[in-house]
Amino acid sequence: MRKQSLLAIATALSGCISLPAIAQGYPAKPIRLMVGFAPGGGTDIVARVLAQKLSETWGQQVVVENRAGATGTIAADFVAKSAPDGYTLLMGHVNSNAIAPTLFKKLPYDAVKDFASVTYVGYVPNVLTVHPSLPTKTVKELIALAKTRAGELTCASSGTGSTQHLALEMFMTITGTKIIHVPYKGSGQAIVDLVAGQVQMNFDTMPPVLDHIRANRLRALAVTTPKRAEQLPNVPTFVETGLKGFEMTNWYGVVAPGATPRDVINKINTDLNKALADPAVRKRLADVGTEIGGGTAESFDAFIKTEIVKYTKLVKAANVQLD
């Protein structure tokens, strides 16, 4: 994966050697990088790492602004309706840019037409964690407990329709269990309550839970990716535990308002790929479990479209829909 991501970054950089005059003068003022979730969650952590590096590169401050709620769609809608000048960007997320088109009956934006894809940043696995007070050390034991205490166990998520919520729905469907879903407005408070024992389990992304796992404040039972996470080598995948087809990732990528000039998109893409190739940035992202991406705007655009198709099927199968 490391070699592939570096190759993608190198390919993207090679295609953007000269830029038109508009992009050469960009940025001339601070940039807002919108995040659709509360501070402390995975999207927020990744956004702040990149914002710091881009601020250094551009000599202009990149300000991370959190507008949490509705599984990231509030921030996405704000960016979709912002001036297409490159000064308001979105840390796009699988929730707002791939799941939302099927999840919401009346989504206030078009996930394809209203955004210009810039750069695929990478992905992190979801990790099934439980509070240490729960007498389960394996997925098999959790399934048995959930069946014994049907409708009693609680599972936090960053919001209804989030990947955490869909992971829970998949888990209940595959295992025949019934667990109470407790949605939050982002991962930050959800993790606080999980560590405090106010809720008992979570399918959150790795960045906000990794330190808690290492400190034994949370117990990790499985990851949703096809292979084990490098940061948690002793934690099995769901497929390894016997739950075939249980795979899901949370991906991130920067997008801009749909009519943003192509030369500005290329400028941002070039500098984001440079940031993702920076050893210090790579280490900081890897430390929180991020598999780093990179690549061209066109490849990211194609990826989003395939993800929309995938999650359309998953959301319909889970029978989850919001007004």
Name 115's Cβ contacts closer than 8 Å, sequence gap at least 6: 76, 79, 80, 90, 92, 97, 109, 255, 256, 257, 258
- Give 200 or 316, the one with higher predicted confidence: 200
**190 and 297 together in one domain:** no
Query: Domain for residue 203, yes or no?
Result: yes
pLDDT higher than 70, residue 11: no
**pLDDT, tens digit, for every residue of 216-256?**
999 999 999 989 998 999 999 999 999 998 888 889 999 99
**149 and 59 together in one domain:** no
**96 and 27 together in one domain:** yes
What does the pLDDT read at residue 14? 52
* Mean pLDDT, residues 128-147 taken together: 97
**120 and 256 together in one domain:** yes
pLDDT higher than 90, residue 284: yes
Q: Which of 223, 240, 266 is the last residue of a domain?
A: 223
* Mean pLDDT, residues 98-103 taken together: 93
Check the CA dihedral 89-252-7-311 and report its sign.
Answer: negative
The total of other beta-carbon atoms located within 10 Å of residue 110's CB is 11
CATH number at residue 153: 3.40.190.10
**36 and 77 together in one domain:** yes
Q: Which of 183, 205, 223 is the last residue of a domain?
A: 223
CATH number at residue 117: 3.40.190.150
The tally of domains found in the chain comes to 2
CA separation for the pair 181, 156 (Å, rounded): 6
Query: Domain for residue 244, yes or no?
Result: no
Query: Domain for residue 96, yes or no?
Result: yes
Measured between its terminal Cα atoms, the distance across the chain in Å is 38
CA separation for the pair 138, 237 (Å, rounded): 11
Query: Domain for residue 298, yes or no?
Result: yes
CA separation for the pair 291, 276 (Å, rounded): 11
**pLDDT, tens digit, for every residue of 48-66?**
999 999 999 999 999 999 9
**208 and 276 together in one domain:** no
Angle at 215 between CA 190 and CA 210, to 5 degrees: 55
**75 and 10 together in one domain:** yes
Query: Domain for residue 278, yes or no?
Result: yes
Query: Domain for residue 243, yes or no?
Result: no
Query: Domain limits at 147?
Result: 127-223
**85 and 135 together in one domain:** no
**136 and 199 together in one domain:** yes
- Give 323 or 250, the one with higher predicted confidence: 250
What does the pLDDT read at residue 118? 98
Query: Domain for residue 229, yes or no?
Result: no
**119 and 211 together in one domain:** no
Q: Which of 173, 207, 223 is the last residue of a domain?
A: 223
What does the pLDDT read at residue 6? 59
Query: Domain for residue 168, yes or no?
Result: yes
Return mean pLDDT, the chain: 91
| Residue 22: pLDDT band with limits 50, 70, 90 | low
pLDDT higher than 90, residue 160: no
* Mean pLDDT, residues 89-115 taken together: 95
Judge whether 157 and 42 are in contact, CB under 8 Å. Answer: no
**253 and 197 together in one domain:** no
**78 and 163 together in one domain:** no
